[in-house]
Amino acid sequence: MSTEDQIRLHAVIHGRVQGVGFRAFVVDKGIAFQVNGWARNKWDGTVELMAEGDRQTLERLLADLRRGPRMSNVTKIDLDWQPASGEFRSFYVRTTV
């Protein structure tokens, strides 16, 4: 896939998303969808993620994020679509900020 087909999704997920395995869920989905990027907890109780891939795949990832893992309760997702940078080589958990 050429880099022109790639886009970046920056999302902040609100709700009951910490302490319920949400980051691991995101990483599992990122790997399954073969997108690159990261997920991390934020001190305000949200989970932030950056993911790069094709738009259709990222939309499927986003649909799964809206559902989340079993114990989560997603109330809102702030989205920002950006050009892909190609800087990520895998999908991983980053340190809390």
1-6+20-72: CATH class? alpha beta
The C-alpha R_g of the chain, in whole angstroms, comes to 12
pLDDT at position 94, please? 93
Of 23, 36, 66, 73, which one is the catalytic site residue?
A: 23
Question: Considering only CA atoms, which of 88, 97, 93 is closest in space to residue 7?
Answer: 88
Mean pLDDT score across all residues of the chain: 94
| d(C-alpha 8, C-alpha 27), whole Å | 16
CB 86 within 8 A of CB 3: yes
Q: Which two tokens stand for residue 84?
A: 């892909």
In which residue ranges of the chain is pLDDT below 70?
A: 1-4
The catalytic position among 16, 41, 73, 94 is 41
91 by Cβ neighbours in 10 Å (0-12 / 13-18 / 19+) ranks as: buried
- Quick one: pLDDT at residue 73? 97
- What pLDDT score was predicted for residue 3? 56
Please answer whether residues 1 and 53 qualify as being in contact, where contact means their C-beta atoms are separated by less than 8 angstroms: no
Active site residue 73: no
23 labelled catalytic: yes
Q: What is the pTM of this model?
A: 0.91
Read off the pLDDT of residues 9-33 as tens digits, 9 standing for 90 and up: 999 999 999 999 999 999 999 999 9
